[in-house]
Structures are given as C-alpha cells and as structure tokens.
Structure 1
Amino acid sequence: MTLPRKALVCVDDTPFYHVTSRCVRRSFLCGVDHATGHDYSHRRLFIEQRIHLLSTLFAIDIAAYAVMSNHLHLVVKLSPEIMNDWSDREVLERWTSLHKGSLLVQRYLNGTALSAAELAALKDIITLYRLRLADLGWFMKCLNEPIARMANKEDGCRGHFWEARYRSQALLTDEALLTCMAYVDLNPIRADMAASPEESQHTSIKERINPSLNLSKTITDLMKLHQLNHFNYALKPLLSFDGNITDQEQHGILFNLNDYLELVDHTGRALRNDKRGAIALHLPPILERLGIDRKAWLNNATAFEQIYRQRFAKRPKRQAANNVA
C-alpha cells in the first residue's frame, strides 16, 4: 500500500530529496515525439522557469534538476528555517502570487481594517500558508498541475498527464546526495541528448557552468505565462556549494563546486554506449575524502534509481522510506 507523503518526507531525518515525475500514455513532456512528429521543446524552458519561480516563492532550494523527454528530475533541499525571516504579510504575498487567496486575505492585503475575530482567523490562515510554503507536496502540485494543463490543451485531450503522484526519495548521506546529483546532471548524456555536461540544455549542470537562466521574457510576460498574480522577488539561484565543513553556519552543499564539476565531467567521459561504466584513470579526490570506491561511484552514478529501488524493495515500506542512503 502506498504510504502517505508525510511518512516519506521528514526534515528531521534529512532536508535533501530526489523527486521524479513521469508522463503517462507514452506522452512526451518535451522534445520531439517520434511517434507523432510533434515538437514539444518549448515546454522545457517553461518548466525550467517555473522550477526557479517556485523555488523563489517556497522555502525549498534546488540542488539539481534535469528536464527530460518524458520525465523530470529534481534534487531539492527543504529549508523551513528560511521562513523565520518572513513576516506574516510576506507569507500572504508569496502564497497569493500563485493563488487568489480567501476574501479575508484579499481584504487584508488591500489595507482593509479587520475586526479582532477576523485577525484571529487570518492568523490561522497565515499559519497554514507557512506550512504549505515549506511543503514538498504543495511545491510539486504547483509545478506539475500547470504543466499538465498546458500539455492536455496542446494535445487536445483530458485525463491524467502524470504517472500517479510524484516519487520522492530521501538522501540521508553525503554520498547519496553527491551520487544522486551527478545521476540527475548526467541524465541527458546517458539518454544521448547531449555530448557533454555544458551542452545539456535545461539542466542544473549547464546552469552551474553558465550561471544565467535564460529568462528571455520580462517579468510581466513571465507573470502572464505562468499565471502569477504578482511577483516581486529576485529569482533564487541554485543551492550553492559551501565547500568543506567549517565552524561557520552553512546552508548549502558541503562540497566544492569545482570538485563537483570535475567529478561530473570525468564520470560523463567514462560512460560508454557498450558498457554501463568504464573506470576512469583519474577521478577527483572528493571520492577519496568521502571514502567512495571509484567503481561503486560509476555504477551508482549511472543507475541511481534502479540500484536504490532494488536495494530496499524487499524491506518493509516504512523502514525503506527511512533508510534510503
């Protein structure tokens, strides 16, 4: 039986999660559908834009992403501590960027004086919105529903576009996080959609190499395209690499960016069409520091989902959900 999402996602265990959404009915999310000849490439920029817009509005950071032909990958960090700096009004403004909000919320934002009872009710609403703005389920709902509506309208059909609900996988160790991020960033190369990381369009690795999201439209156009009521925030960048652990407070990824880019580049070069992975003569010392075997790294980085799904398939579901490494 499928577990409720709250049993699979727990910030106390880990803030990092690998999330995937796949299409049904052999639908194409993006790219050229070879069965029909239809080109859906325009959706990739829309999805990439929306990932960044939602990350900016939510207390959720993006560590890695890849928009593929019939599925998308995200590695996210749940960061509820970010909300400590948000006032009640900012919480309402963030939520109403995406949703209209109740009449009470609209009256408050318009400057209408509220009674004591109305203010008490408003406090309850704000508490609810705070929880939602840190919730992975609401983040994915706000990401996937507009994509499904767009796709169904373009395809002239109704019904489900996504394969059930999204899948999330807890990343409990540094090794799991590093492996999963590389797995996501190398998806286009394994799928023969790109020859190198810097050529893989609409991926986090491309954005890290050339940190300039191609927002070819103005904010006004973006608001119309993504049906936002308003948007008054600077776009949040990808989750930063903080380097090695220090005595300072750190909120990013505890690796060095140059090490990571070099590691992904070497791993990508080791991939071959006739073999799952070939052992590179040299891999960056980050593997040595984490105590990761080179052969195990290549196997895990090329088949992350398959390996971890098989590893925990025979365990009780609740235990498996809490022990994915």
Structure 2
Amino acid sequence: MQLVSGRVGQEYNQRKGRKGAFWEDRYHAAAIESGPLLARCLTYIDLNMVRAGVVKHPSEWPHGGYQEVYGTRRRNTVLDLDGLLGVLEFSSVSQLREVYGDWIDEALLTEDGLREEHWTRSIAVGSPDFIRQTQAALGARGKPRDIFQCGEAFVLGEAEENYGPDFGFNNRAIALEKG
C-alpha cells in the first residue's frame, strides 16, 4: 500500500503542479463487520476525494470503488463484486448499483465533510459480538484496546486522549486553489 499510495500522490502532484503531502495519513486497515456497517464504510471511502475537494461526486474519480460498482472501470479492479453481493446480501449487481447510488446521494446531502475517526483510526468496527470476537482473535495485542460506542457502531481501538487544551479546531476539506 505504501508503494501504491506514494506513486498515486507523486503522479497527482506532478500532473497538477502541486507539492507536499497528498494523503493526510498513512494506510490503515480495520476489520469491518459485513452488513450495514460495511455498506456505510464503502460509502465513506468513496467520498474521500469529495471530502478532499478533488471532485464533487465519486463518479468523477476514476480510481474509486464507485467506478467498479457501476462497471465503468474494467482494468486494475480491486472490488470482488460477487463477494460484495454476498456480504451485503444483494441478489444482483443491478440491485447493488441502485442501492449504492442511493447511499452515495444520501451521504452527499447529509455529511458535513468531516472525517469520521471510527473509520480511520479503529482496529475494528461492528456489533458488540463482532468487536469481542476480533479482540479475542488479536490475543495479547487486543487486550489493551478499548471497546466503545460511536453512533450506531461499536469500535475496538485506542481511546482518544486529550493532552492539552481543546482549541475547537475541526478537520475541514482540503480544497485545491484554483487561480
């Protein structure tokens, strides 16, 4: 992932005449329980370039999952659509496409453009049983981790510690300067 993310960042910066960091953080993997939370995570990921101010809609980003779900990207695909149908309990790709478009449209209307830390910092996201099973599977590495609720999901991760005053800053979308 480090090689891929580095090359993507370099290519984009070169093409746009930019310098500096392209990605906000290093690659991070989390276990996500199948079902509605996985669907929400996929939608969140497809909105990354929208949050970054690079595109206005995920359909404009040629390298995302949106392109794979809608079949417009055929080379170098990452998603296993048959597997995705199974874990999201859809019977056909056309049904997935219809619902996925609704998820994206709803998220574009309701999200405020901020990062959701439970997708970007946690070890696992899911139901209480899924989180306990994941924690047990991690053995000694999972024991010191905390389980906490974040909206409708439960999360396995490190509790956020505040080491200084809270100045009230929020993450905001990174927009490219157009001049």
- Normalization by structure 1: what TM-score? 0.30
- Normalization by structure 2: what TM-score? 0.49
- Name the larger-Rg structure: 1
